[in-house]
């Protein structure tokens, strides 16, 4: 699942990562260890100019589909927060409460998938170049392979 975050990190960094440091564990589902997989992972990507991206992933978030991003820079920060079932927040003397997070990626990304299908149809009908491209997919896979090497070799590796 981290490959999607690697793809997003490439976009947000604005330049290709040159190294990765990845750490992974089996903390939730012991059966994953039997097939050489993990349920918890942290990745640090670094670009030639020193930009960094940190990705933290877990296969289980009992409180909902937790996916958010923050971009920090010298002039400020931008946040894309989690989406909740409703946007109502209630505050009382006892504190604040809000509805749970959306619990499934298909619910969260319905509009995104519709946009992807429309863009794909535009490519077919009008010859518009695909964006992201196949090369973007290969670049994300290259990073995923580097992450796997980093976990196995327990060191930072070139991407």
Domain containing residue 66: CATH number = 3.30.360.10
pLDDT given at position 117: 95
pLDDT given at position 63: 81
The angle formed by the CA atoms of residues 21, 27 and 30, to the nearest 5 degrees, is 115
Pair of tokens at residue 93: 């003397």
- Chain segment 39-76, per-residue pLDDT in tens: 999 999 999 999 999 999 998 888 878 889 999 999 99
pLDDT given at position 69: 94
pLDDT given at position 102: 83
pLDDT given at position 156: 98
CA dist 11 and 98 (Å) reads 31
Give the total number of structural domains in the chain.
Answer: 1
Q: Which domain, by its residues, includes 41?
A: 2-158
- Residues (pLDDT < 70) of the chain are none
CA dist 57 and 120 (Å) reads 29
pLDDT given at position 64: 79
Strand residue runs (E) in the chain = 17-25, 40-47, 52-58, 69-73, 76-80, 90-92, 95-97, 157-158
pLDDT given at position 143: 98
């Amino acid at each position: 699942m981290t490959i999607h975050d690697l793809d997003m990190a490439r976009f947000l960094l604005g330049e290709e990562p040159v190294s990765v440091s990845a750490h992974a564990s089996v903390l939730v589902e012991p059966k994953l260890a039997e097939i050489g997989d993990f349920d918890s992972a942290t990745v640090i990507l670094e670009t030639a100019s020193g930009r960094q991206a940190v990705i933290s992933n877990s296969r289980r978030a009992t409180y909902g589909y937790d996916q958010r991003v923050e971009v920090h820079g010298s002039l400020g920060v931008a946040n894309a927060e989690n989406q909740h079932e409703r946007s109502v927040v209630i505050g009382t003397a006892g504190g604040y409460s809000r509805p749970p997070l959306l619990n499934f990626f298909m619910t969260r990304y319905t509009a995104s998938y519709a946009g992807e299908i429309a863009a794909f149809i535009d490519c077919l009908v009008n010859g518009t170049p695909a964006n992201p491209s196949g090369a973007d997919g290969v670049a994300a896979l290259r990073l995923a392979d580097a992450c796997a090497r980093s976990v196995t070799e327990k060191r930072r590796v070139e991407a």
